[in-house]
């Protein structure tokens, strides 16, 4: 039982390059999330998907797009990377749509944009 799996673990991009962060969960969870974590800023929500077929913007969506490919997979795309997007990205899932549903996080992707 892997839980939430993210790939890649590390990535270095040049400004303007694009890439997709992959996330998959095997817990049959309905809701999935993408957060970014920056020093002193906590965890900020980029996008979320309450259920298969829906996606919504979170607190910091600019410069990102997402795709809920199916119930298991939720990808995050950077179309034109900028140095401000250097961060650690966490995917998470929760069992049901609701503010009190515990989040299960992946191990993170450390992204550096030069």
Fill in the per-residue mask, 70 to 109: x = in contact with another protein (CB under 8 A), - = not in contact.
Answer: --------------------x---x--xxxxxxx-xxxx-
Give the C-alpha separation, 94 to 106, whole Å: 12
Please state, in angstroms and rounded to a whole number, the distance separating the CA atoms of residues 78 and 95: 27
- Characterize the bridge pairing of strands 10-13 and 109-113: parallel
Size of the site for another protein (CB under 8 A): 26
Query: Residue 88: is it exposed, middle or buried by C-beta count within 10 angstroms (0-12/13-18/19+)?
Result: middle
Mark residues 34-73: x for contact with another protein by CB under 8 A, - for none: ------xxxxxx--xxx-----x-x---------------
Which residues contact another protein (rule: CB under 8 A)?
A: 31, 33, 40-45, 48-50, 56, 58, 90, 94, 97-103, 105-108
């Amino acid at each position: 039982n892997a839980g939430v799996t993210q790939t890649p673990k590390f990535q270095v991009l040049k400004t303007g390059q694009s890439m997709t962060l992959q996330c998959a969960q095997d817990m049959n969870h309905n809701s999935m999330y993408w957060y970014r974590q920056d020093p002193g800023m906590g965890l900020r929500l980029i996008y979320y998907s309450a259920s298969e077929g829906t996606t919504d913007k979170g607190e910091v969506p600019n410069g990102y797009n997402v795709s809920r490919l199916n119930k298991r997979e939720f990808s995050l795309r950077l179309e034109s990377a900028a140095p401000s997007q250097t961060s650690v990205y966490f995917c998470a899932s929760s069992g049901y749509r609701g503010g009190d549903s515990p989040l299960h996080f992946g191990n993170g992707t450390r992204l550096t944009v030069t």
